[in-house]
Structure 1
Amino acid sequence: MNKSTGKIQLPLQAISLTMGFAAWTAISPLMPFMTDFEITEGEKSLIIAIPVILGSILRIPFGYLTNVIGARLIFLISFIFLMFPIFYLSIANSTTDLIIAGLFLGVGGAVFSVGVTSLPKYYPKERAGYANGMYGLGNLGTALSAFLAPPIAMAIGWQSTVRLYMVALGIMILANFFLGDKFEKKVKAPLKEQIIQVSKDYKVYLLSFWYFISFGSFVAFGLFLPNYLVSTFDLTPVDAGLRTGTFIALATVCRPLGGILGDKLAPLSTTRTVFIGLIIGALLLSSNHHIFFFTVGCLLVAICAGLGNGLIFKLLPMFYTKEAGTVNGIVSMMGGLGGFFPPLIITSVVASFGTSKPAFLFLALSGIIALITMFWMGKKEESVQ
């Protein structure tokens, strides 16, 4: 692959990820506007979490298939498919409709595995952190939904706002058709054999656990914050959307910085430092629920989760080459699933204790466990210190 091709594919695939994530998280910022039918708090949590399921599980086959048939075809097929649940969402008139649409919108989250598998083919290994980090800017799609969907819904209604996603998807279908790399290097290896092989490697489990926490925090906060800020702090839907968008944008901008830091510094040691910051942010959220301290805690989690996401995907290419698509899929799947449980847990905790503080304490404890495993891995893998 020549350098000029890489320069085209990086922005194209990053913008494609942006569109995928925008579609994936379309429901959450619009939910405060869905007042034409009744939705209970428990149903809201389930509807918000549902898109994460398919968006996580499909990351393994998407990563594998990217190596087999190339990123261009995967993006094309994904965006054509997403047209259907987006349209169905625009005519939804019950919680069942929202759950069905949300499930299949998960395809938008699954496309994350495409770029992290494809783009390292265009860059030397020492620049893998940069490539994957810049691709990760596509997470801004979640922020775009949070920033733009509420004010547009105020002006034209939430159903018409959803239909605008179809226009954006159409543009990305054309972009990938004409600009996608038709001659991307293919890597063919039996998926079953790859899974069996990597399942014997302890590093896959640790990297998955770390990403479960860092990317899971990013996804979970992005999904539950709009409704949570409205119901807990009595903010307007537009204000809640702006605050959520700020969290997502900050975490997303920090992701490529994490990859670059991993290229220049000892990646594992840097990841440990970042997780200490995430633990502090979670402890702040669990100890004080004033809007100011809640905001500070959220911003600290955003910075550290974003840096951690970039650092973990800097570590992956250092350990895996031929199995990169499968491992990327496994790790990114676990990261996505990390965003599924928190909205449900928070709703359950609030119902049981009248406060969400214990849920944030659980995040801090998970970070502490991850930190311990990082020190243990550091003793076994001195080359990534």
Structure 2
Amino acid sequence: MTGTPTPTTGAQPAASLRGAGLNLSLATLAFAVSFWAWNLIAPLGVRYAADLDLSNGEKSLLVAIPVLVGSLGRILAGALTDRFGGRVMFPVLLVVSAPFVVLVAVAGRNDSYPLLLVFGFFLGIAGTTFAVGIPFVNAWYEANRRGFATGVFGAGMGGTALSAFFTPRFVDWFGYLATHLIVAVGLLATAALCWVVMRDSPRWSANHDPVAPKFLGALRLPVTWKMSFLYAVAFGGFVAFSTYLPTYLKDVYEFDLTGAGTRTAGFALAAVLARPLGGVLADRIGPRNVVASSLAGTAVMAVVVAFEPPIEVPAGAAFIALAFFLGLGTGGVFAWVAALAPPERVGSVSGLVGAAGGLGGFFPPLVMGATYEVALEGYGLGLGLLAVVSVGALLFAWVGVRPTSGGPGASNSSRPGS
């Protein structure tokens, strides 16, 4: 059988695992740098809105558009990773993303909203690296350590925190165009490092099946649809807040660009730290318990945030708690994916589930922008919808995925295809 990774029995020879930590670190770095690029427009959304005199809906579309390609592109990226491996796919995607970082800057300097949308759309390529990393790190670790591995790799979504914190400051320190050039050079340098140092696991073997049948095969697995729904809520919520929070903080609390970016970075960092914890806890107590706790906490905190608690401490604590629960859920869901997906379809299933998560982050900013107008310049309606969806996902996590036996936290898992 070919695929990613090949199932094994018994303990692996020590040599076969040598380099696991290094390659996990490189994959996490590549993911973080690519996510910085993917989230490059959102921290400057307030600036674009002012310079281009954008409506709330236009502003929402601009910050959300990179998420679209970053989501749908994960389907193809995951399937290609099954065939070519992460050592090839990471550098390729990083290199392809770099020109669009610069083109976004060109569009912004020329005050062209249409070009910002076009180049922002292709900037989404940077967000597809997630579907590369999941099968790549899975192949380096035993089944009972994959929650840890995918959780650590997933912490690379902290690139959104880096972007939120540093991008506005870089613009102040170095200038608008120079900031984009710095990020583009960072992508290329990381690509070169991965090409030279990164290696695929000795347990990985290429799957040369045609992409379309693999894609259809993954779609036929009920586990793909179940995990896609849960990930759309957890990761989609994180992406939506990471991209839209600077706008939210300006509208509700009147923060400037740098102040909103700093607080958005804190939000993203809390989710980043919670993600590996979700993976580790899933290894110990089962992913169902982790995901259920995440969704319950998300629903409660969405309601709290909807009441617009005063700054600084009450509002800050509420958003940090919300981010923590969302991050916990992203780690828990992908620990579930790593445990349940057939080994030869890890890349394809990861791509589909990752795409669902990204799409889950594409629509909420549009909904928030629309409901802001409907609710007379308030976000309570949009946050109420998040609470309702989280409760629905919580019920599904308990009722929609049947339990099975065997392994850590097995009573909180399910068989692939169950």
Aligning the two structures, in what range does the TM-score lie when normalised by the shorter sequence?
over 0.9
What CA RMSD, in Å, does the superposition of the two structures yield over aligned residues?
1.7
Report the AA paired with residue 364 of structure 1: A
Per the TM alignment, residue 33 of structure 1 is displaced from its structure 2 partner at its CA by 3.3
1:305 aligned residue:
326
1:359 aligns with 2:374: no
Which of 126, 130, 154 lines up with 2:172 in the alignment? 154
2:137 aligned residue:
119
Cα distance, 1:357–1:180 mapped onto 2, change above 3 Å: same
1:179 aligned residue:
197
Report the AA paired with residue 199 of structure 1: L
Secondary structure of 1:340 counterpart: helix
**Could you tell me how far apart the structure 2 residues matched to 1:142 and 1:226 are?**
12
The CA deviation string for residues 297-330 of structure 1, in whole angstroms up to 9 with x for no partner, is 3222201110110111111122112111111111
Per the TM alignment, residue 164 of structure 1 is displaced from its structure 2 partner at its CA by 1.0
1:164 aligned residue:
182
Report the AA paired with residue 196 of structure 2: F
**Could you tell me how far apart the structure 2 residues matched to 1:85 and 1:197 are?**
33
Cα distance, 1:345–1:207 mapped onto 2, change above 3 Å: same
CA contact (8 A) 1:378 1:384 kept: no
TM-score by length of 1: 0.95
1:222 aligns with 2:245: no
CA contact (8 A) 2:226 2:401 kept: no
The CA deviation string for residues 224-253 of structure 1, in whole angstroms up to 9 with x for no partner, is 011221232111211101100000011011
1:255 aligns with 2:301: no
Higher mean Cα deviation, 308-317 or 230-239? 230-239
2:398 aligned residue:
375
1:103 aligns with 2:121: yes
Pairs within 5 Å for 1:316-327: 316-320=337-341, 321-327=343-349
Per the TM alignment, residue 378 of structure 1 is displaced from its structure 2 partner at its CA by 5.0
Which of 36, 54, 60 lines up with 2:69 in the alignment? 54
The CA deviation string for residues 61-113 of structure 1, in whole angstroms up to 9 with x for no partner, is 11111110011211111111112111111211211121112101101111110
Report the AA paired with residue 17 of structure 1: F
**Could you tell me how far apart the structure 2 residues matched to 1:297 and 1:305 are?**
12
Which of 335, 346, 350 lines up with 1:314 in the alignment? 335
CA contact (8 A) 1:30 1:158 kept: no
1:28 aligned residue:
42
1:76 aligns with 2:110: no
Percent identical among aligned pairs is 30
Which of 11, 17, 21 lines up with 1:7 in the alignment? 21
What is the count of residue pairs matched by the alignment? 385
2:370 aligned residue:
348
CA contact (8 A) 2:134 2:350 kept: yes
Uncovered stretches (5+) of structure 2, i.e. residues with no partner: 1-14, 413-418
Per the TM alignment, residue 384 of structure 1 is displaced from its structure 2 partner at its CA by 4.0
Secondary structure of 2:28 counterpart: helix
Higher mean Cα deviation, 375-384 or 212-221? 375-384
**Could you tell me how far apart the structure 2 residues matched to 1:381 and 1:205 are?**
18
1:267 aligned residue:
287
TM-score by length of 2: 0.88
**Could you tell me how far apart the structure 2 residues matched to 1:71 and 1:253 are?**
24
**Could you tell me how far apart the structure 1 residues matched to 2:208 and 2:307 are?**
50
Per the TM alignment, residue 36 of structure 1 is displaced from its structure 2 partner at its CA by 4.4
1:135 aligned residue:
153
**Could you tell me how far apart the structure 2 residues matched to 1:30 and 1:135 are?**
27
2:303 aligned residue:
283
1:38 aligned residue:
53
Uncovered stretches (5+) of structure 1, i.e. residues with no partner: none
Per the TM alignment, residue 293 of structure 1 is displaced from its structure 2 partner at its CA by 4.5
